[in-house]
Structures are given as C-alpha cells and as structure tokens.
Amino acid sequence: MKISHYLYNTFIIETDDKKIAIDPGGLMFYFFRFTTIIPKSEWKSITHIFVTHGDPDHYWHADRLEESSGAPIICNKTMIKNVDGKNLMLGPRDKGLAFTTEVAKIHTLTVDETIEVDGMSITGIKTTHGSLTFRLGPFSKTLTPGPEERIGWGAIGFRIQIDGKTIVNLGDTLLHADEWSSINSPDVLMIPIGGKTVHNTMDVKEALQAVQVMKPKLVIPCHYNCPAFFSKKYNPADEHEFKKEVEKLGINCAILYKGDSINY
C-alpha cells in the first residue's frame, strides 16, 4: 500500500486494484489561487473519492474528479439531497447551503454506519469541525458550525478496511476521545494537529490524546502549516515535537510534506 499526502487533509491511497482520493480540494485564498491540490495527472486513475466535509478547500474538485475518473464519491448522507430523482451534492463552488451539483455515482453513510463498497468496509466516525476565525489586519470574523452554516457541513471521519489493513482518516475535527475508544489499533491514523492558534481542529496535545486512545500502528499528522488566507503557514504546529511524543508511546509516526509518499 502506498500513501501520498498533499496539503490539508488530502491523501491518495494506492493498492493493487484501487486508488483512493481523500478530500480533493483546492488551494484556496492564497494569492487568489484556486488550483487543484491533487495533480490533474492523477485524476483519471482514481477509483474512489472520499469527502470528509463540505468546506470548499476539502472538496473543491470532487465533482470534476468524479467526472474525469468515473469514480464514486463516498460522503456523509447530509452532503447529498435527492431532488426530482437526481442526487445533488452541496455545491463545492457555491455559496451557502446550495445543493446544486449533480453526481452520477455516490455512496453515503452516517456516523457508526458501515457500508461495503467494492471490497472495502467503510465505517463513519464521529467528527466535529471547530470554529474558524478569519483575520485581516485589525478585522476578524469567526464562523461557527451549525444547522444553517456552511462551515464543517457534513463532517464525518472514515474507518476504511482494505486489503487486510485498517485506515482511519478523521478530516477536520475536535477531540472525541470517548467516541473513538472503540477504534482499536488501526494500521494507519491520519490526524489533524494544527488547531492551536485557530481551534478548527485538534492541536498537538489533543491529537496525542487521540493517539493514546486509538493506539494506531502508524500515525500521519496533517492539516497544519498550510497555505491559506494569505499565510504560508495557517494552522501552525510543530510536527517534529508531535512525532517525538508519538514515538515515546512506541508508535511509528511519518511526517509527509506536499507530495511525499510512504509504502506501508
């Protein structure tokens, strides 16, 4: 199995017969660039697309990737509405809660629900997106997830059992130690660590608590030091300190920068 990390929570997982894309978002608001995080050279070979929530930077290109590859999208049921027999996804490039984007192939699930897709067993994991604060000079605005808010819409994590291995991806989330206690020793845990300055996800300390609860074999930190909102290092975190603390627990930790891969 080959795991490649790009930015934010964007990953590609490759096995002998599958190539999974997680959160195929866009590089948002940085010098007004809206480029794809997953290189277009990879698009046609993708076999499955996972979306953890409805923030545009996490799935800006999901429908385009589906159209290019023919791969199904796997997401929370709340990301889809059936209107006149059509499956409409929350529009990646629309404002607000607009369900406008038709998708041809879709598999949905809820928290604690397990579905079987093409030989994979996929279980929804409880996640909660934290509040997000935008700052520009003396001005700031805080967005808090809620029933009428776009931010964090449809948040869900995934436990993916594939080729005898268990992969856990949590997306953007705060700590849910009690709910995650049933996740026992996954092979790989992809976990956000950049929530210290802006608490939209766990910070390093909270992520370490999650690692202690789940006891994975390999941890890959993500969603930290990312370009966003005119900053080259939004959601700052010390990944080397995190790695050191994880390894004190007797658990392997791999730091993957943009485009880096690991064979597992």
Say how far apart CA 161 and CA 163 lie, in whole Å: 7
Backbone angles phi, psi at 99, to 5 degrees: -95, 95
What mean pLDDT is predicted for residues 4-9?
Answer: 94
What's the distance, Cα to Cα, between the start and end of the chain in Å?
Answer: 5
The yes-or-no verdict on residue 138 having pLDDT over 80 is: no
Residues 6+ apart with CB under 8 A from 74: 48, 49, 50, 51, 106, 107, 108, 109, 117, 122, 158
The yes-or-no verdict on residue 231 having pLDDT over 70 is: no
Domains in the chain, ordered, with CATH?
A: 2-263 (3.60.15.10)
What is the chain's mean pLDDT, rounded?
93
The yes-or-no verdict on residue 33 having pLDDT over 70 is: no
pLDDT of residue 113: 98
Report CA-CA distances (Å) from 168 to 119, 157, 214.
17, 7, 10
The yes-or-no verdict on residue 233 having pLDDT over 80 is: no
Say how far apart CA 237 and CA 215 lie, in whole Å: 21
pLDDT of residue 28: 65
pLDDT per residue as tens digits for the range 184-230? 999 999 999 999 988 999 999 999 999 999 999 999 999 999 876 66
Q: Position of tokens 């598999």?
A: 107
Confidence category of residue 105, pLDDT binned at 50, 70, 90? very high
pLDDT of residue 149: 92
What mean pLDDT is predicted for residues 23-50?
Answer: 85
What mean pLDDT is predicted for residues 84-100?
Answer: 95
pLDDT per residue as tens digits for the range 183-194? 999 999 999 999
Six-digit token string for 96: 């607000």
